[in-house]
Amino acid sequence: MKDDELQIFTSFDQSLDVNEDWMLEKVQDIIQTAIREKDVNIALTACKTLIAVTKLSGKGLAKLLYLLRENWDKFECDETFEEVIYAQSGLHAYTVNRYIAVYENIYVNPAIPAEVAEDIQQKGIKELIPIAMALNEGYEIDNQAWERLRTAPDLNTVLHIVREDVKEIPPRKGTIQLQLDEVGTIWAFCDGERYFVGSLEITDTSKVIQSAIRRIVRGAGIRGINCL
């Protein structure tokens, strides 16, 4: 699911058995109520609520983990924060640290220029993690990179900006990167060479075509033309 902000796990995290019956039964009850009342808005309201909870849950978890760590001594627990979190939630310290880095670097002590802060903070947890980890590692992000991050349409673009503009790490040998230029031409870049791939009718104003182009660009991780 594209908006599931909690799917930021690693191979170190353990699987926990979760009883999902209560949620599925609740959804069934909502649908039955909507049908009985002949009111589709009952179901649509529940749909919007689930989407909102899903999108915000990652940031909520980031704040929860941060505040737990900062206040761990107040619980007078014999075990460490990391030990308890892993045992109870299944989250490895590596994953926990990434969530905490988001809340610490993006919200508590934000090193974000005021003019882009609101847009950056509105991004999903998936996009915020690479930004926060770069700050955590001591990298400085200049104003031009912040502006590019602000307008980045997806995770692939954020990762590219952090890797090449912030960390200044060249692409690995053999990596193929796709880019869309201002006239709609798709280029592939690999090991310093540029290859023509094809073109998109970006000047066509048809809603169907524009929607199809956005799906192609985002699905393939093509960079360029941020408005798409």
- Which amino acid is located at 207 in the chain? K
What pLDDT does 32 receive?
Answer: 95
Per-residue pLDDT for the chain (228 aa), expressed as one digit of tens each?
A: 344 455 555 555 565 566 778 889 999 999 999 999 999 999 999 999 988 887 788 999 999 999 999 999 999 988 989 889 988 888 888 889 899 999 999 999 777 899 999 999 999 899 999 999 999 888 889 999 999 999 998 888 899 899 889 988 776 677 787 888 888 899 888 887 889 999 999 888 888 888 888 878 776 778 765 545
Helix crossing, 21-37 with 40-70: angle to 10°? 150
Token couple for 123: 């991004």
Sheet holding 185-190, edge to edge: 177-180, 185-190, 193-199
Total H helices, total E strands in the chain: 9, 3
What pLDDT does 8 receive?
Answer: 53
pTM here is 0.65
What pLDDT does 52 receive?
Answer: 83
Per-position DSSP letters for 156-191, written without gaps between them: HHHHHIIIIIIS-PPPPTT--EEEE-TTSEEEEEET
CA distance 171 to 216: 22
Token couple for 45: 């309201």
What pLDDT does 16 receive?
Answer: 57
What pLDDT does 172 receive?
Answer: 66
